[in-house]
Each structure stands twice: as C-alpha cells, then as structure tokens.
Amino acid sequence: MIGVIAKPSERTVVCEFFELFKTPWEFYRSDRRYEVLLSSRDGKVDTTAAKHVLIYAGKKIQFDAEQKIEVDSRRTGSRALSYKGRRVPIYGDSITFPAKRDGILTDEDSHHPVAYLNQSGGRILARIGYDLFSEVRALLTVGQPPANADVPALELHIAVLRDLIIGCGIPLVEIPPVPEGYQFIACLTHDVDHASIRRHRWDHTMFGFLYRAILGSLISVFRGRAPIRNLFTNWTAALKLPLTYLGLAKDFWYEFDRYVELEKGLVSTFFVIPFKNDPGRTTQGPAPRFRAARYEASEVTSQIQRLMSAGCEVGLHGIDAWLDSSKGREELDQIRRITGMPDIGVRMHWLYFDKQSPQSLERAGAAYDSTIGYNETVGYRAGTTQAYKPLEAIRLLELPLHVMDTALFYPNRLNLSPREARKRVSSIIDSAVQFGGSVTVNWHDRSIAPERLWGQFFLDLIEELKSNGVWFSTAAQAVAWFQKRRSAVFESVSWDPGALRVKIAVDGGKELPGLRLRIHPARGPRQSSELGGAALNGHVDIGLNSNIDTRIAL
C-alpha cells in the first residue's frame, strides 16, 4: 500500500495518476503504517511511517535540511532528464543533487542526479527533484509541445516510481493497461471531412486537389517519395474531374466505406460531420470559412448503415461541441437519429479543443472524446498511451490521438517520406509494447483515394500492428475497456511468505478482453547506483476478468 501526502489542490491529480498507475494506494492516514510513503508537500514527514519514503519537490524543502541533503541548482521552467537512456521532459521547477554522481535520474545537460537515495536503519529515503503531480497536471491540461511529442512522459513518470519501489525491495501489485491476451490496443479511426468531390466546385478544396494531383504528384515522384503509378492514377483522376462533376465518372471520394474491404474484418470508427456549410466558431469569433464541410451525415446514410452492419462505429466529428454544450447536444442528436445509437463519441473537426471542452462535451452528453492529439506532428500530446479522465471532467474519458496521416505526409507538417514515416510510427508502436495502452490512428476518408493515395502505408501499418499482437477495437470499445480497468478496486492486499493474498472487485465488461494482475515479488534491496541499470523484470501476470478473493503462491 502506498500512502500519499499531497497538497489539497493536488487531490484530483493524485486520484487520476493512480487510475493510470493502477496499484493499491490511499491518502496518508497517521494511524497506519505503509510499505511506501509518497509525499509532494513541504513540511514535516514522519520517516518512520513506511519502509520506503519518497519525497518529490522541485525546490529545496524542510526534508532536505533535516536529512542534510545538499541541493545544487534549481531551474525554473523546462529541462530534460535522462532515465535508462530515455529522455524525460520536465515542465516545472526542478533541482539536482551534487553529492551523488550516479543514479536512476540525471539532468541531461549537467549529468547531475535528480534523484537522491539513502539507506538508513533498514529504511530507504528517496528524494526526487521535481514535482510529480505538477508534471501530471501539466501533461493532462496544457499538454506537451510538438518538440517533445515523441516522449510518453507520463508513462515514464509511472515507470520511474515503479522502479524506485520494486528496486528497493518492496513488492508491488498493479493492473497494467494491457488487455489479457494482447500486448496493447489499436484503434483505427477515420475523420470523414470530404465525403464527395462533386460537392467541391470552384473552391479551395477543388483547386488544392488539382494542384496536388498534377504538380504535387510529379514532385513526389521526382523526389522518390511516391511510386510512378501514383502519378498516373492522380493525373487520370484530374483529367476525369469534369466527367465526375457531370455524373459520367465515378466520384472517387464517395466511397469511404471501402475501408471495410481494406481492413478485412477489423472494426474501426468513423467520425462524421453533422451539418454542412457550417464552419463553427473559435473562442475569438467565426472559424475560417473553409472549415465548413460540403456534406452532412444525413447525406451519407447508406454508407453509415453499411459501416454499422460491418461492426464499425460511427461517431460525431463535432463543429461547435467543444465550446458550446447546447450546440453539442444538437450535433450529437443528429448522429443519434441517423445511427439509432444512444451513446455517441466525439472527435472535434480540426481538433478544436480548450480547457473547458471536457465540461462542454460532458454536458452535451458525449460518450467519450478522442480529440487530444497534434495537427502538426504525431505522438503523445498528453504524454500517455492511456485513456484518461480530464481533470475538469466528472466521467468523460479522453482517448488520445497518436498518429494522423496528414501530420505525417503534408508538406506544411512533418512532410515525411514513407520510410521516415514508418520509422516514426514504429517508435510509437514500440512504446505501446513497452507500456501498454492504445495506439489511436486517424486515417482520413479521402486518404486512400486520389490525390493522396496513402492506402498502402495504411495497410502496412495494419500489418505491423497485427505482428505485435494487438486487440483491434473501435474507439468506444477501447474506452469501455479502460472504464472496466478503472472500475477495479483493490479491497485488500497482503503479503505472506511465498504468497500474495488479494481481493479485487471488477465491475462489468464481460464481453471485453480481461484485465491482468501484475505481481512484482519482493527482491533484495539494491544500491541506488544500481537502480538506473537494466530494466527491473521478473513480474508475474495473472488473468483478471471478474471479482477475485484468493491466495496466489509465488
């Protein structure tokens, strides 16, 4: 059991952090003794209350004076730490400790330790030089700048804390974000922005298509970024465009349900626009006119029905739901009428979002949101692979967006070649293998059609995901699985010699993959210099799909 001492203003953040690091914990009670005591508050700490005391703070505190810990420098603002060869960005204040020249965490520039460990009287005291819960708050509210998008910072904070515990000889149980029988979750999603090219005449979309199909394709082939067959396909589509407008040639954008054929039985989620010719608003006023879609959900009802018959999910590609709950209810009701489904998830068009959006979407009745991601890059805006509850929300979960096609390939964004994009996405998949959680992909409706023709990369991505043993789910199914994990409660945990006694309650979700109970048995305490070495392993996983009250021999 971890006892947590935190500032009153941090209680919401602490609760959410321990939904992501699902292990037994409670707010500190003076009448109890703990295996681990974690404090983020300045003031007197009873170091006899636990076997292992962890103190997080980004400035010099009373504990430092009491323990005669020498503090080197304090840095205000962002810096980067090194943890087992991985970069961990820190967005708040932090300090280093010059008395130690090795350790689990070091400053990337000075190479001074940011974690100080001391063994005394059979007890281990650890001092970590940043504010853990301030970092978690920053990640779940402000998010990471694009420069740090490739770092799953929140998962690394969890990994550091886990290693600080089990590396010091304290046994630990947790429910990792890993579905039983799989390595992680893969969500294939599709934003339907342009359901038909016939609806775009003499507008920026039509002219943009012609430019990219004719000249852009030529440049891509010349630079070796696309096969020559793409050039012929795009030029043919451009030449046929007048016939397409006359209805004499196929509308090559009016077949986004072809994804069902490409995905071959895998379920995915399609976010559709509720109302056409409505650009919506920004916080300053009207949004740019070209944000408005030229179609609406009611005009693609037949495709929606085919998608749902194939087991796919249809959600809302919202316009104003992110800032106006009454507008959000109208938009959600439109999708409910067409699909006949009561629970509708959301991804905002152009990824519009701000701090109050979770509350607005919650009041509107959204089942979940999947907007948090980047337009300009790929990776972890919230620093996590997991669905989480925004701190302003009561029940709404956010399923982060990790990979978007336009971010990978558009010239004004990352502008990657297929080989470069494959390397970038493979890194995200590798992190999911290590930490669990989900990889959420957005491949737009027209991305398999001229002029983009990014279908082969999408198929290769599916094959790479399959080779890593993933559970392919709709966004709604993924959120339901994370809700199932959040429902799990450690009612009691005790360690006997050679065995673990555990009682856990799990609520619902029988049709979903099970959970895992991960057991890290006690091992001999290590010196602080050894904690930064090879990954600590040797855990035991046990399937968990319902309430248990049992003794597990180790």
How open is the CA angle 426-429-430, to the nearest 5 degrees? Answer: 85
Task: Give the residues across from 543 on adjacent strands.
Answer: 516
33-70 pLDDT, tens digit per residue, is 999 999 999 988 888 889 899 999 999 999 888 888 88
Number of separate helices (H) and strands (E) present in the chain: 15, 24
Mean pLDDT of 518-528: 68
**Model confidence at 531: pLDDT above 60:** no
> Is 0.75 surpassed by the pTM of this model?
yes
pLDDT attached to residue 110: 85
Question: Is 236 in a helix, a strand, or coil?
Answer: helix
Residue with tokens 């430092």: 64
Sequence spans of domains, the chain: 2-174, 184-196+253-482, 197-252, 484-553
pLDDT attached to residue 259: 97
Instruction: Read off the tokens for 196.
Output: 């038909």
Average the pLDDT over each of 110-124, 357-371, 382-396, 513-527 and give the range with the smallest value.
513-527
User: How confident is residue 530, by pLDDT bands cut at 50, 70 and 90?
Assistant: very low
**Residue 249 CB coordination number (10 Å):** 15
Average the pLDDT over each of 29-38, 65-74, 104-113, 121-130 and give the range with the smallest value.
65-74
**Model confidence at 532: pLDDT above 50:** no
Percent of the chain with pLDDT over 90: 82
Q: In the chain, what is the greatest distance between 2 CA atoms, to the nearest angstrom?
A: 85
User: How confident is residue 542, by pLDDT bands cut at 50, 70 and 90?
Assistant: very high
Provide the mean pLDDT of the chain: 93
Give the strand pairing for 548-553 and 499-505: antiparallel
pLDDT attached to residue 315: 98
pLDDT attached to residue 535: 40
Mean pLDDT of 109-128: 86
- Asked if residues 524 and 169 have their Cβ atoms less than 8 Å apart, the reply is yes
**Model confidence at 103: pLDDT above 90:** no
Orientation of helix 11-20 relative to helix 132-141, angle to 10° = 80
pLDDT attached to residue 448: 97
User: How confident is residue 77, by pLDDT bands cut at 50, 70 and 90?
Assistant: confident
User: How confident is residue 74, by pLDDT bands cut at 50, 70 and 90?
Assistant: confident
Q: Give CB contacts under 8 A, 24+ apart, made by 422-431.
A: 422/457, 422/460, 424/150, 424/378, 425/378, 425/461, 425/464, 426/464, 427/150, 428/150, 428/378, 428/379, 428/402, 428/403, 429/464, 429/465, 429/468, 431/152, 431/155, 431/385
What sections of 81-174 are H helices per DSSP?
A: 132-141, 153-166
**Model confidence at 221: pLDDT above 60:** yes
User: How confident is residue 78, by pLDDT bands cut at 50, 70 and 90?
Assistant: confident
pLDDT attached to residue 391: 97
**Model confidence at 512: pLDDT above 90:** yes
Between CA 268 and CA 190 the distance in angstroms is 8
AA letter at 152: P
Higher pLDDT, 335 or 70: 335
Residues 6 or more apart in contact with residue 466 via CB below 8 angstroms = none
pLDDT attached to residue 523: 67
Question: Is 10 in a helix, a strand, or coil?
Answer: helix
**Model confidence at 232: pLDDT above 90:** yes
Orientation of helix 418-435 relative to helix 153-166, angle to 10° = 40
Residue with tokens 């890593």: 468
Instruction: Read off the tokens for 337.
Output: 């009428």
Residue with tokens 């104003």: 320
pLDDT attached to residue 67: 85
Pick the most confident of 113-127, 182-196, 520-534. Answer: 182-196
**Model confidence at 398: pLDDT above 80:** yes
**Model confidence at 208: pLDDT above 50:** yes
pLDDT attached to residue 99: 66
**Model confidence at 387: pLDDT above 60:** yes
Between CA 399 and CA 139 the distance in angstroms is 14
Please state the φ and ψ torsions of residue 120, each to the nearest 5 degrees: -150, 125
Kindly report the three-state secondary structure assignment for every residue of 493-548.
Answer: EEEECCEEEEEEECCCCCCCCCEEEEEECCCCCCCHHHCCCCCCCCCEEEEECCCE
pLDDT attached to residue 168: 85
Please state the φ and ψ torsions of residue 191, each to the nearest 5 degrees: -85, 120
Q: Give CB contacts under 8 A, 24+ apart, made by 546-550.
A: 546/506, 546/510, 547/504, 547/505, 547/506, 548/502, 548/503, 548/504, 548/517, 549/502, 549/503, 549/504, 550/501, 550/502, 550/503
Mean pLDDT of 477-483: 98
- The CATH H-level (homologous superfamily) assignment of domain 184-196+253-482 is Glycoside hydrolase/deacetylase (3.20.20.370)
CATH classification (class only), 2-174: alpha beta
Concatenate the DSSP letters of all residues of 18-82 into one string: HHHS-S-EEE--TT--EEEEEE-S-S---TTSEEEEEEE-SS--HHHHHHT-----EE-S-EEEE
239-290 pLDDT, tens digit per residue, is 999 999 999 999 999 999 999 999 999 999 999 999 999 999 999 999 999 9
Task: Give the residues across from 405 on adjacent strands.
Answer: none
162-195 pLDDT, tens digit per residue, is 999 998 889 999 999 999 999 999 999 999 999 9
Residue 150 CA to its chain's centroid (Å): 11
